[in-house]
């Protein structure tokens, strides 16, 4: 068969990136010292650069001054991955699948809290029901790479008091534009 009839690889439709690919992307970008150091840092708050994620995913390079954090949130049904490129971040997450709709207050079961420290190029992938908060508890600036697929349609923000999680706000992607 003449090779000229074969479609060029660039003509192939992009495949949906899996969580592993998003994490590989996060690791790859986290190791790109030139890009990581190009991020402007602000001691007063987070800074970010939008990146081109693999396969149409949404990706960000984010700078975290000491004390900066996200608060509890989910990712609107997207899955994703992130990796620390500089410094150290703390992730607290819930090892339970929460109902996504129809509640304002939820009493969390005991024993579902997880905490991990991410530094030195370490990262993690997460599924579409992941609820977490990420913060910089260290005394140094941290930089991380995040990727989500599908691009975040919305995020639910939660307030947590003890074992009670309260839905506080739904942020839609249009509001970030």
Residue 132 in marked binding region = yes
Q: How far apart are CA 159 and CA 29, in angstroms?
A: 31
**Interacting residues of 160 by C-beta distance below 8 A, sequence separation 6+:** 72, 166
Q: What share of the chain is helix, strand, coil (3-state, %, to 5)?
A: 20, 45, 40
Backbone angles phi, psi at 44, to 5 degrees: -90, -15
The one-character DSSP state at 53 is -
Strand runs (DSSP E) across the chain, as ranges? 47-52, 58-64, 72-73, 79-86, 88-94, 105-107, 113-119, 123-126, 132-135, 142-149, 154-161, 164-172
Residues at the binding site are 73, 75, 132
Residues at the binding site for Fe cation are 73, 75, 132
């Amino acid at each position: 068969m003449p090779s000229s009839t074969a479609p060029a690889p660039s003509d192939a439709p992009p495949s949906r990136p899996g969580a592993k690919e998003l994490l590989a992307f996060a690791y790859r970008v986290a190791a790109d010292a030139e890009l990581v150091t190009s991020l402007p840092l602000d001691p007063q708050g987070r800074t970010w650069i939008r990146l081109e994620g693999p396969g149409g995913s949404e990706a960000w390079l984010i700078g975290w001054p000491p004390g900066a954090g996200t608060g509890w949130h989910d990712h609107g049904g997207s899955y994703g991955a992130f990796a620390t490129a500089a410094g150290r971040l703390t992730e607290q997450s819930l090892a339970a699948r929460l109902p996504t709709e129809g509640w304002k207050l939820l009493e969390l079961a005991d024993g579902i809290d997880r905490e991990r420290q991410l530094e030195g190029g370490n990262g993690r992938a997460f599924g579409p029901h992941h609820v977490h908060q990420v913060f910089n508890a260290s005394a140094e600036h941290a930089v991380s790479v995040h990727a989500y697929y599908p691009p975040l349609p919305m995020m639910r923000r939660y307030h947590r008091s003890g074992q009670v999680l309260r839905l506080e706000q739904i942020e839609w992607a249009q509001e970030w534009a």
